[in-house]
Amino acid sequence: MRNYDITKTKLIIWDLDETFWHGTLEEGGVIFNPDTVNFIEELTTKGIMNSICSKNNFERVKDEFVMSGFKHIWDLFVFPSINFSPKGERVRGIISDMNLREENVILIDDNVSNLNEAKFYCPKIMTAMPRNIKKMSEELYLVNDYDFEHTRLKQYKILEEKAAARSNSSNEEFLRASGIKICIKTDCLNNIERIKKLILRTNQLNFTKFRDENLEETIKNNNAAYIIAEDRFGNYGICGFYAANKDTNKLVHFLFSCRIMNMGIEQFVYSYLGKPDIDIQGEVASGLEGNVDWVEIVKDLEIKQKEKPAENNINILFKGPCDLYSTLSYINSDCNIDTEFPYWNKELVYILAHTHTAFIEQTHKFSQSKLNQIAQRFPFPNKDEFKTKFFDPKYNLIFLSLLTTTHSGLYINKNDGAYVLFGYADCDITDENNWEKILAPLPEAAKAPNLLMLKEFKTDYVFAGNPPVETVLGNLKYIGENLSDNTKLVLILGSEIPTDKVQDGYANMAERHKIFNSAVREFAHKNEIGIIELTDFIKSDEDYTTCINHFSRRVYSELAQKIVNISNEILQKKYLSFKG
Residue 394 has pLDDT above 90, yes or no: yes
What is the model's pLDDT at position 467? Answer: 93
pLDDT tens per residue, range 352-362: 999 999 999 99
Residues 510 and 367 in one domain: yes
**What is the secondary structure of 219-278 as a DSSP string?**
HHHEEEEEEEEEETTEEEEEEEEEEEETTT--EEEEEE-GGGTTSSHHHHHHHHTT----
Residue 580 pLDDT class (50, 70, 90 cuts)? low
- pTM recorded for the entire structure: 0.69
Does 32 share its domain with 142?
A: yes
Range of the domain at 37: 6-169
Both 153 and 189 in one domain: the answer is no
What is residue 334's predicted lDDT score, i.e. its pLDDT? Answer: 85
pLDDT class of 553 with cuts at 50, 70, 90: confident
* Residue 440 counted as domain residue: no
Give the C-alpha distances (Å, rounded to integers) separating 420 from 36, 246, 412, 425, 450: 34, 82, 7, 12, 17
Domain termination residue (choose one: 134, 149, 169): 169
pLDDT at 163: 59
Tell me if 147 is assigned to some domain.
yes
pLDDT in tens, 308-333: 444 568 999 999 987 677 788 788 88
pLDDT at 154: 85
**Local confidence band at 170 (pLDDT 50, 70, 90 cut-offs):** very low
Average pLDDT over residues 190-218: 90
- Residues contacting residue 450 through CB under 8 Å, at least 6 positions apart: 438, 439, 442
518: domain CATH number is 3.40.50.1110
Q: Mean pLDDT lowest for which of 160-169, 263-272, 288-297?
A: 160-169
Instruction: Supply the pLDDT for residue 165.
Output: 35
Residue 1 domain-assigned (yes or no) = no
222 pLDDT more than 60: yes
- The pLDDT mean for the chain works out to 90
- Given a cut of 60, whether residue 208 has pLDDT beyond it is yes
Kindly give the pairing relationship between strand 234-245 and strand 222-231: antiparallel
What confidence tier does 460 reach under pLDDT thresholds 50, 70, 90?
very high
- Residue-by-residue DSSP string for 87-123: HHHHHHHHHHHTT--GGGEEEE-S-HHHHHHHHHH-T
- 408, 320 contact by CB (below 8 A): no
Q: Which amino acid is at 567?
A: S
Percent of the chain whose pLDDT exceeds 70: 96
pLDDT, tens digit, 9 for 90 and up, residues 105-131: 999 999 999 999 999 999 999 999 999
pLDDT of res. 166 = 36
The answer to whether residues 159 and 231 belong to one domain is no
Buried-state track 173-193, b at ≥16 Cβ within 10 A, e below 16: ebbeebebbbbbbeebeebee
Tell whether 459 is covered by a domain.
Answer: no
Q: Give 345 or 5, the one with higher predicted confidence.
A: 5
CA-to-CA distance for 116 and 119, rounded, in angstroms? 5
| pLDDT tens per residue, range 402-423 | 999 999 999 999 999 999 999 9
Is the per-residue pLDDT at 476 higher than 50? yes
Q: Per DSSP, what are the bridge partners of residue 333?
A: 576
Same domain, 185 and 165: no
Q: What is the per-residue pLDDT for 310?
A: 41
Q: What is the pLDDT of residue 348?
A: 72
- What 3-state class would DSSP assign to 204? coil
pLDDT for res 2: 67
Domain presence at residue 307: no
Q: What is the pLDDT of residues 39-90, one digit of tens each?
A: 999 999 899 999 999 999 999 999 999 999 999 999 999 999 999 999 999 9
Q: Does 306 map to a domain?
A: no
pLDDT > 60? residue 169 = no
Confidence band (pLDDT; 50, 70, 90) for 1? low
At residue 279, φ and ψ (nearest 5 deg) are: -100, 100
Residue 436 lies in a domain: no
Do 155 and 189 sit in the same domain of this protein?
A: no
321 and 287 within one domain: no
pLDDT for 150: 87
Count of structural domains, the chain: 3
In a domain, 461, yes or no: no
**Do 254 and 360 have their domain in common?**
no
